[in-house]
Structure 1
Amino acid sequence: MRPVRTAVIGAGVFGARHVEKYAALPEATLVAVVDRDADRAAEIAARFGVMALTDHRDLPTDVEAVSVATPTAAHHAVGMDLIARGVHLLIEKPMARTVAEAAALADAAEAAGVVLQVGHIERHSSVFGALRRMVDRPLFIQSDRIAAFTGRSTDVNVVLDLMIHDIDLVIALVGAPIASIEAVGAPVLTATEDIANARIGFENGCVATITASRISYKTERKLRVFQRDSYIVADLAARRINRVSRSGGEGTAPELSAAAEDLPQTDSLMAEIAAFLSAVRTGAPPPVTGRDGVAALRTALAIGESLSRHRALVSRMLAEEAR
């Protein structure tokens, strides 16, 4: 099977990483790098001996698959243009600015018969893959994603910046519709929430609490899953899973056994792009579909709305105290 002719739109930090992966994969032939900054496009393209462009509409007609790593505001317009040309898309998260834009992309891709994969990279982690095989019916999930302040992506709150990763993972683990969302948070170093906590209730009874911070001294990416007769801690950063399970006993005196598993280091972005190319070549559904991207964005925006209500409530309380 011949390699897929590919391009990357958006040559920022993450877009440049996409370029590197396509160039390294034998199932891809990298054709072009596109960025509105001509110098940046030329710089990245020159490293790999490919074409540099400033407009995605100038891509050669034989380009078959593209990563869209532009700012989120451009995802819808760029994606719709390329879908109309029959080009397969890997769109970075968040999928779009609004649910309407994201749904339009998913609808258009399905109608055109093109692959639309959303870049929720943690789905391709070896740790999450192992965790998913262990989880049957979760009763309670606790997720913590704690990171240092970098100054990047401060145009959006921490929900769209970081928490959306874990929103996608939790939805994938639970596999049930969402019944309720409550959230609190605070802007600390930027104009939007830099730390937030969301409580999500699902129709099957599972409850998830998700915390994300981009203003911490330490880094932590953990998922804790509680289900009948077992408790699992998945450390996405350390690539380790600890599991405590009932091995016997009755009532209030269960016998417990503990097991730990260290997972191999994997290149999640390489795995994500390889999965995308496989879907393009075989016609199989991608591991993270457009509908998955819509669901994650819808939930993230609903959390944002809850944060706004909480912020307004706090402002009213402070104003009343100041009288």
Structure 2
Amino acid sequence: MTKLKVGVAGAGVFGNYHAQKAAASVKTDLVGVYDIDLPRAKGIAEKFGAKGFDDYTAFLEACDAVVIAVPATWHEPLARQAIEAHRHVLCEKPLALTGAAARFLADEAAAHGRILQVGHQERFVAKAMGVLAIEETPLLLESVRAGPPAPDNRAGDVSVIWDLMIHDLDLAAMMLGNEFTGVSATGRRVHSEHIDEATAEFSYASGGVARLTASRAAPERQRSMHVVYPSGEISIDFLTRKVKNSTPYEIKVDIAAELPDPLGAADEGFYAACLGLARSPVPAHGTVGAVAMAEAAEADILAKIDA
């Protein structure tokens, strides 16, 4: 099998993780790591016998496929340039910061015959738990994803909506549909110039409602989901691994055997898709809905707090 030449853009924590996956896979050769800080790029690349780059054009020329793991504000321009260079792209979430831009990138990748995948690893978790196998449309989806501020101000270039809530926006779009009919959101700045706490409620043509809360200014971690279906309710505390389930569907929280490494599973799925061995597990067109929801929630909050 011809190996896929993979490069990783971004020499931060997630860039290091993705570099490890590419270096370890039997499907790929890690050929380079790009960062505007060349010593950082070299520091990761040279651990795996790859090359460090601070020239993005030269980096793209060395690769068949790239993983974009840079700050969110740079996802769209780097993905666009990679697609225009006819490279396959795995972009960490969010794909872009507007629904129009996300849709454009998805369309461009399709037009160029390239794979464009988005790093929504929570889909793999939800699938392994059995949540995505439920055929009923929820009447109500509630989620809380909160924690203290990151010590290194990770993802501090965007609001908590793009940083944390985007995971649950993507799940809501999958479970309730990409097209929402209304949004009402509240939020506040706490320790950054961006929104650090947010709650957004979305309504859908089905009559369903998604109520999502995210915070990076909470005193302690919280991660929970409550879903109401016509046949019953499911409540999951992801931290204590406790489940209450009155539906007829099986839900598992201990998925270590089925999914020991969600990031690795996502990356392997991307490599296989690039090599024509399988379909991408998270194609870009299916992630545009979450971007549109995030854009709408942030706009509603900013209109209120900046009025």
Q: TM-score normalized by structure 2?
A: 0.91
* Greater fraction of residues in strand: 1
Please give the alpha-carbon distance, in whole angstroms, between the structure 1 residues aligned to 2:157 and 2:71.
10
What is the CA distance between 1:171 and its match in structure 2?
0.6
Match of 1:288 in 2: 282
Please give the alpha-carbon distance, in whole angstroms, between the structure 1 residues aligned to 2:35 and 2:206.
45
Please give the alpha-carbon distance, in whole angstroms, between the structure 2 residues aligned to 1:113 and 1:268.
26
Matched, 1:275 2:275: no
Match of 2:161 in 1: 159
What is the CA distance between 1:271 and its match in structure 2?
1.1
Quick check: 304-313 or 22-31, which moved more? 304-313
Match of 1:299 in 2: 293
**What is the 5 A alignment of 1:162-311?**
162-175=164-177, 177-238=179-240, 241-245=243-247, 261-265=252-256, 266-282=260-276, 284-311=278-305
What is the CA distance between 1:263 and its match in structure 2?
2.1
Quick check: 42-51 or 258-267, which moved more? 258-267
Structure number with greater Rg is 1
Matched, 1:116 2:116: yes
Partner letter of residue 269 of structure 1? L
What is the CA distance between 1:50 and its match in structure 2?
0.7
Quick check: 5-14 or 57-66, which moved more? 57-66
Quick check: 291-300 or 34-43, which moved more? 291-300
Match of 1:66 in 2: 66
Relative to 1, partners in 2 of residues 1:121 and 1:238: Cα closer, same or farther, differing over 3 Å? farther
| Number of matched pairs | 302
Partner letter of residue 119 of structure 2? G
Partner letter of residue 242 of structure 1? K
Q: SS state of the match for residue 246, structure 2?
A: strand
Please give the alpha-carbon distance, in whole angstroms, between the structure 2 residues aligned to 1:310 and 1:60.
42
What is the CA distance between 1:173 and its match in structure 2?
1.2
Identity between Structure 1 and Structure 2 (%):
33
Relative to 1, partners in 2 of residues 1:179 and 1:13: Cα closer, same or farther, differing over 3 Å? same
What is the CA distance between 1:275 and its match in structure 2?
1.3
Listed one character per residue, the Cα deviations across residues 217-276 of structure 1 (whole Å, up to 9, x for unaligned) are 222222211101221123444555431137xxxxxxxxxxx9773322221111110111
Please give the alpha-carbon distance, in whole angstroms, between the structure 1 residues aligned to 2:266 and 2:296.
27
Relative to 1, partners in 2 of residues 1:233 and 1:31: Cα closer, same or farther, differing over 3 Å? same
Please give the alpha-carbon distance, in whole angstroms, between the structure 2 residues aligned to 1:36 and 1:118.
22
Please give the alpha-carbon distance, in whole angstroms, between the structure 2 residues aligned to 1:103 and 1:149.
31
What is the CA distance between 1:45 and its match in structure 2?
0.8
CA contact (8 A) 1:9 1:70 kept: yes
Quick check: 6-15 or 61-70, which moved more? 61-70
Listed one character per residue, the Cα deviations across residues 105-160 of structure 1 (whole Å, up to 9, x for unaligned) are 11210100100001112112256652111352211111110111113222321111
What is the CA distance between 1:18 and its match in structure 2?
0.7
What is the CA distance between 1:166 and its match in structure 2?
0.5
Partner letter of residue 174 of structure 2? A
What is the CA distance between 1:90 and its match in structure 2?
0.3
CA contact (8 A) 2:60 2:66 kept: no
CA contact (8 A) 2:118 2:287 kept: yes
Partner letter of residue 295 of structure 2? L
Relative to 1, partners in 2 of residues 1:80 and 1:189: Cα closer, same or farther, differing over 3 Å? closer
CA contact (8 A) 2:155 2:163 kept: yes
Please give the alpha-carbon distance, in whole angstroms, between the structure 1 residues aligned to 2:178 and 2:34.
39
Please give the alpha-carbon distance, in whole angstroms, between the structure 1 residues aligned to 2:73 and 2:160.
17
Matched, 1:6 2:1: no
**What is the 5 A alignment of 1:50-65?**
50-59=50-59, 61=61, 63-65=63-65
Match of 1:249 in 2: none
What is the CA distance between 1:44 and its match in structure 2?
0.5
CA contact (8 A) 1:8 1:19 kept: yes
What is the CA distance between 1:17 and its match in structure 2?
0.9
